């Protein structure tokens, strides 16, 4: 089992005011799963993704990664976990607007020292998300759907087993949402993809 949550709880403490983000969450996820999460505003969806993605700590329960408990992790253990295992996609397209699609994706491949290999791999990923024709276009000139597909190519460039997406189609029209939903579904063949969404395209 790739991820297992056992009675997970996240309690926010701001100036001694305690707020329950999530509590008593039992879930298990594995490779090749495409998971969608929906729920009312404030029900803890983002908190859940933030805990899984180690953008937030958890105070209750145990998160197992590949069967190993993580509650004893130090800050640097979490950093390694995040770096190696987690890729995130948010509602706001976080690409660099004055770089091209190709440059944006290459930035996520800096671990490859060989420039030619980096370019080859970037082009491969760009083809996978269907942006070959827009490869040399700057971020600022892309449609919302194209921006989000660039973000997905970057997430794939990281080669992490877990992709977390929080309302990835929140700023997209129906057609672009469909494309992004289909792409994430396809991506989940050899990864775990968890999507927080209200978008009916995902449930179809």
Task: Write out the binding residues for ligand ADP, residues 20-39 only, by CB under 6 A.
Answer: 21, 39
**Among 69, 82, 67, 70, CA closest to 30:** 67
| Interacting partner of 85 out of Mg ion, ligand ADP, none (Cβ under 5 to 8 A depending on kind) | none
> Which of 12, 120 has the CB closer to ligand ADP?
12
Please identify which residue in 34, 44, 46, 95 interacts with Mg ion, judged by CB under 5 A.
46
Q: Are 25 and 8 in contact (CB under 8 A)?
A: yes
Q: Are 169 and 38 in contact (CB under 8 A)?
A: no
Contact region with ligand ADP (CB under 6 A), list: 42-50, 73-81, 89-97, 101-109? 42-50
The tokens of 34 are what? 């495409």
Chain-centroid distance of CA 121 in Å reads 20
| Interacting partner of 53 out of Mg ion, ligand ADP, none (Cβ under 5 to 8 A depending on kind) | none
Instruction: Supply the DSSP string of 110-164, one letter for each residue.
Output: TT---HHHHHHHHHHHHHHTT-GGGTTSBGGGS-HHHHHHHHHHHHHHTT-SEEE
> Which of 131, 165 has the CB closer to ligand ADP?
165
Going by C-beta distance under 8 Å and a sequence separation of 6 or more, which residues neighbour residue 78? 54
> Which of 17, 110 has the CB closer to ligand ADP?
17
Please identify which residue in 3, 5, 25, 47 interacts with ligand ADP, judged by CB under 6 A.
47
Residues touching Mg ion: how many (CB under 5 A)? 1
Give the Cα separation of 117 and 96 in Å (integer): 22
Task: Write out the binding residues for ligand ADP, residues 1-20 only, by CB under 6 A.
Answer: 12, 14, 19
Q: Shortest approach of Mg ion to residue 168 CB, angstroms?
A: 12
Contact residues toward ligand ADP (CB under 6 A) are 12, 14, 19, 21, 39, 41-47
Contact residues toward Mg ion (CB under 5 A) are 46
């Amino acid at each position: 089992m790739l991820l297992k949550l056992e009675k997970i709880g996240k309690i926010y403490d701001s100036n001694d005011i305690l707020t329950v983000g999530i509590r008593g969450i039992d879930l298990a996820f594995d490779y090749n799963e495409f998971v969608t999460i929906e729920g009312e505003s404030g029900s803890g969806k983002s908190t859940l993704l933030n805990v899984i993605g180690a953008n937030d700590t958890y105070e209750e329960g145990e998160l197992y990664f590949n069967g190993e408990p993580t509650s004893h992790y130090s800050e640097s253990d979490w950093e390694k976990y995040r770096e190696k295992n987690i890729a995130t996609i948010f509602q706001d397209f976080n690409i660099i607007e004055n770089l091209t699609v190709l440059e944006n994706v290459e930035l996520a491949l800096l671990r490859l020292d060989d420039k030619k290999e980096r370019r080859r791999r970037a082009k491969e990923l760009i083809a996978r998300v269907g942006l070959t024709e827009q490869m040399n276009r700057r971020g600022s000139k892309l449609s919302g759907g194209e921006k989000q597909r660039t973000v997905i190519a970057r997430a794939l460039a990281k080669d992490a087993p877990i992709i977390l997406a929080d309302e990835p189609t929140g700023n997209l029209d129906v057609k672009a949402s469909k494309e992004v939903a289909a792409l994430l579904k396809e991506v989940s063949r050899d990864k775990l993809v968890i999507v927080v969404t209200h978008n009916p395209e995902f449930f179809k």
